[in-house]
Amino acid sequence: MKDITNDSKGAQLDPSGSTFLGLDNNRLCRWGMRDRNGIVQNLVNDSISTPVLNWAQGHQFSRGTNFQCFATTGDGSIVVGSLDGKIRLYSINSMRQAKTAFPGLGSPITHVDVTYDGKWILGTTATYLIVICALFTDKAGMTKTGFNGRMGNRIAAPRLLKLNPLDSHLAGIDNKFHNAQFSWVTENGKQERHLVATVGKFSVIWNFQQVKDGSHECYQNQEGLKSCYCYKIVLKDDSIVDSRFMHDKYAVSDVPEAPLVIATPMKVSSFSISSKQ
Beta-bridge partner residues of 121: 114, 132
Q: Which amino acid is at 24?
A: D
CA–CA separation, 209 and 124 (whole Å): 19
Which among 113-127, 136-150, 201-215 has the top mean pLDDT?
Answer: 113-127
Lowest mean pLDDT among 45-54, 96-105, 186-195, 239-248: 45-54
Q: Where are the domains of the chain?
A: 62-271
- The predicted model gives 222-236 an average pLDDT of 89
- The predicted model gives 189-216 an average pLDDT of 90
Lowest mean pLDDT among 49-53, 101-105, 142-146, 217-221: 49-53
In residues, how long is the chain? 277
Question: What percent of the chain shows pLDDT beyond 90?
Answer: 46
Question: 124-175 pLDDT, tens per residue?
Answer: 999 999 999 999 998 888 999 999 999 988 898 899 999 999 999 988 878 8
Position 41 scores a pLDDT of 53
Position 277 scores a pLDDT of 40
Residue 275 has pLDDT above 50, yes or no: no
Residue 62 has pLDDT above 80, yes or no: no
Position 180 scores a pLDDT of 96
Q: Which amino acid is at 176?
A: K
Residue 226 has pLDDT above 60, yes or no: yes
Which among 49-53, 123-127, 238-242 has the top mean pLDDT?
Answer: 123-127
Q: Which amino acid is at 88?
A: R
Position 127 scores a pLDDT of 93
CA–CA separation, 199 and 44 (whole Å): 32
155, HSE (Cβ side, Cα atoms, 13 Å): 21
More confident residue, 44 or 238: 238
This prediction's pTM: 0.87
Question: 63-82 pLDDT, tens per residue?
Answer: 778 999 999 999 999 999 99
CA–CA separation, 116 and 263 (whole Å): 24
Domain 62-271, what fold?
Answer: Neuraminidase (2.120.10)
Residue 276 has pLDDT above 60, yes or no: no
More confident residue, 247 or 44: 247
More confident residue, 182 or 277: 182
Residue 251 has pLDDT above 60, yes or no: yes
Position 2 scores a pLDDT of 86
CA–CA separation, 204 and 236 (whole Å): 11
Question: What percent of the chain shows pLDDT beyond 70?
Answer: 89
Q: How far from each other are the two terminal CA atoms of the chain, in whole angstroms?
A: 39
